[in-house]
Amino acid sequence: MPNTACRSLNCTPDRPLGPRKPRLKCRVALAGALAAALWAGAPAWASDDHAAPAQAAKPVPKAVAAAVPSAAADPMDSLREKLAAKLGAARAPEAASPYVVRVVSKSGEAAHGTATGDAAKPAGNGSAPKPAKARAAAPPAIPDGHAAHWGYGGAGGPEQWGAMKSEFSTCATGTRQSPIDIRSGVRVDLEPIQFDYRPSGFRVVDNGHTIQVNVGGGNSIEVQGRRYDLVQFHFHRPSEERIDGRQFDMVAHLVHKDPEGRLAVVAVLLDRGSAHPLVQTIWNNLPLEKGEEVAAKSALDMNHLLPADRRYFTYMGSLTTPPCSEGVLWMVMQQPVPIATDQINVFSRLYPMNARPIQSAAGRLIKQSN
């Protein structure tokens, strides 16, 4: 019997009629459907659009003919016999009654309500079944280098820097990382840092991590027999370095480079106090947008940023931002420089906190000026 007969009656052989109806055999429903079809004179099971094309009736198998009683015994037997002939049915071997027959789909179509459903039906031209329409694809993964751009908190915070990109791995695996808490420095007669600073043009940029000042050429330092040119300086709040556990309001890092590419950083600690003219000159030239570089019309004399007392601590460390490269010579000025509360607040509006946590000193030798 075509699947549509059972679907239209909401039953299958030997199954309840619907989820909550009493268990009745499908033979009752089939007999009623056949009677209605015969009386109406309409072709049976022609209304289902998904049914397989009609096929010629098959002769009644001998097994069915033997199992069905003669018409003289029961007027309904004639109808049942015609039904069996039309459907090409066979009596169910497990059925207790001879009037129960098993109906098998002649088209091979998946039964209504099964897991395959209409999606498994072959196309009318015999082609392979079309795959079900895919669900909307997830957004593509964000490319490496843009996923959680490094910062000072959340998914891109300092604890994650080393895992964000292979170039940043030293942030997690390095053994000479900065900043550190400077304690128990060895007091020695350190040679003074020779500052060769002169008034120069400068440009101010908000690079998304801090306020950076790119300084014109002609500024340098000389220490340990090497000369390093000043490239740029920038700010952190609060200070990244600590002196015997004390952290300061801000710090300025003056980054120098020698001809071989080696770095030397002078750290000037900034502590709350009076206004600082050089800092105010920089704030006066702050760009309105991140990434925008503002060329100042005035000159900047870096000597005005240095403390009067030029004694310092020194040790070998790293950059305090990714890629955290090591081999950096650090010189931290012992005397802090004053900065006004209002000037601190200007920077805080842009970067309330942009300081890397303290790193392990790992037994490094720290020297300080007598």
The model's pLDDT over 293-342, given as tens digits with 9 standing for 90+, comes to 999 999 999 999 999 999 999 999 999 999 999 999 999 999 999 999 99
Residue of 112, 146, 149, 209 with catalytic role: 209
Residues 100 and 19 in one domain: yes
Residue 69: how many CB atoms within 10 A of its CB? Answer: 13
Residues 246 and 364 in one domain: yes
Mean pLDDT value across residues 99-121: 45
Domain boundary among 70, 101, 120: 120
Residues 266 and 221 in one domain: yes
Residues 209 and 101 in one domain: no
Task: Provide the CATH number for the domain around residue 276.
Answer: 3.10.200.10
68: in domain: yes
Mean pLDDT of the chain: 77
358: in domain: yes
Residues 282 and 215 in one domain: yes
Note the pLDDT of residue 82: 72
**How many domains does the chain contain in total?**
2
Distance, CA of 303 to CA of 219 (rounded, Å)? 10
Give the global pTM.
Answer: 0.62
Residues 308 and 180 in one domain: yes
Residues 197 and 265 in one domain: yes
Residues 113 and 168 in one domain: no
Nearest 10 degrees: Cα torsion 25, 27, 30, 36: -110
Domain boundary among 95, 120, 145: 120
Which H helix or E strand runs over 368? strand 367-369
Given pLDDT bands bounded at 50, 70 and 90, which one contains residue 274?
very high
142: in domain: no
Residues 107 and 256 in one domain: no
136: in domain: no
Distance, CA of 189 to CA of 370 (rounded, Å)? 6
Note the pLDDT of residue 184: 85
215 bridge partner residues: 202
Domain boundary among 98, 120, 142: 120
Among candidate residues 291, 183, 161, 315, the one with its CA nearest the CA of residue 243: 183
Active site residue 209: yes
What Å distances lie between residue 125 and 128, 129, 173, 342, CA to CA?
A: 9, 10, 64, 81
Range of the domain at 18: 3-120
